[in-house]
Amino acid sequence: MEEIYAVGGRLDLVLTLPDEKSRTKSGRIYPDDLCRLHGIPLVKIGHINDAEAASAIRAHQLDWLFIIGWSQIASEDLLRAPRRGALGMHPTLLPEGRGRASIPWAILKNLARTGVTLFQLGPGVDTGPIAAQVEIPIAPDETATSLYQRVNDAHRTLLREAWPRLVDDTLRLTPQDESRATYWPGRTPADGRILPTMKVDEVDRLVRATTRPYPGAFVEEAGVVTRVWRGRPAGGTPIPPGVLRLVLADGGYDALEWEREG
């Protein structure tokens, strides 16, 4: 949204979740201040397919609708509401990694690269034709925190590059190669549990993949949950002060930043 105004564009309408629903979402943002600053009408809806959403889009006679960072699947009726169509951004190099939890999965799968794709939304999940992509290399010590920020920066890059073509209606779309498509499932906070049967490198990836802004990896003993935000393989060294060492199947893992809940 900020990048659109930085390149001289404008928004005619913003739709977002009610505040009480936003609080449960990882990486949530509240667009109220930006909307007030630029005088953008702001409508808060419980679901993207509520009748109020389509009515607002048609009332404002939108050319393009951006649906970004929204976990609900838009109906065909909603996608037909803007004049030219709806555009989404997905934080993988589509058609690889359709689905959810793209940033954690990229680290968990130990990928060398990922990216962000600007594409036209259709009836399938992340299946529409591609408008543009930005590739992002993944460092060996990449965390969800650092990758999340780089993905955000890539969103800005894509919008900046695509905006002139959106304005003059010269945006070119390329169908996805279905033979290369893969799907990544959703994840829940419970998927961050660390078990003693895991290997050190597996736990290292899990901690890096689920750290902030996500719920974090954790161990649970006797009903007590310890959340691990940052750590490293122990390597056989003595336990430093303030470090929690986890004993795993093939060695130790040192939790450098951790907290016990309750």
Mean pLDDT, residues 110-123 taken together? 96
**Region of residue 169 (phi > 0: left; psi between -120 and 50: alpha; otherwise: beta):** left
**Topology classification of domain 189-260:** Methionyl-tRNA Fmet Formyltransferase; Chain A, domain 2 (3.10.25)
DSSP 193: B
**CB 116, CB 133: distance < 8 Å:** yes
For the 2-184 domain, the top CATH level (class) is alpha beta
pLDDT at 59 over 70: yes
- d(CA 123, CA 127) in angstroms, rounded, equals 8
Instruction: Report the pLDDT value the prediction gives residue 237, as an integer from 0 to 100.
Output: 85
User: Where, residue-wise, is CATH 3.40.50.170 in the chain?
Assistant: 2-184
Query: pLDDT tens digits for 202-242?
Result: 999 999 999 999 999 999 999 999 999 999 999 888 999 99
Mean pLDDT, residues 71-88 taken together? 92
Instruction: Report the pLDDT value the prediction gives residue 236, as an integer from 0 to 100.
Output: 83
Query: pLDDT tens digits for 158-201?
Result: 999 999 999 999 999 999 999 999 999 999 999 999 999 999 99
Mean residue pLDDT across the chain: 95
Model pTM score:
0.90
Q: Which residues of the chain form beta strands (DSSP E)?
A: 14-16, 42-44, 64-67, 85-90, 98-99, 113-120, 130-137, 183-184, 217-221, 224-233, 244-248, 251-260
Instruction: Report the pLDDT value the prediction gives residue 228, as an integer from 0 to 100.
Output: 98
User: Where, residue-wise, is CATH 3.10.25.10 in the chain?
Assistant: 189-260
Q: What is the CA radius of gyration of the chain?
A: 21
Residue 221's CB is within 10 A of a number of other CB atoms, namely 8
Instruction: Report the pLDDT value the prediction gives residue 20, as an integer from 0 to 100.
Output: 86
Instruction: Report the pLDDT value the prediction gives residue 28, as an integer from 0 to 100.
Output: 79
**CB 176, CB 94: distance < 8 Å:** yes
DSSP 168: T
pLDDT at 26 over 70: no
Instruction: Report the pLDDT value the prediction gives residue 23, as an integer from 0 to 100.
Output: 74
Phi/psi at 120 (nearest 5 deg)?
A: -85, 130
Mean pLDDT, residues 67-83 taken together? 91
Phi/psi at 246 (nearest 5 deg)?
A: -100, 130
Instruction: Report the pLDDT value the prediction gives residue 69, as an integer from 0 to 100.
Output: 84
Instruction: Report the pLDDT value the prediction gives residue 45, as an integer from 0 to 100.
Output: 94
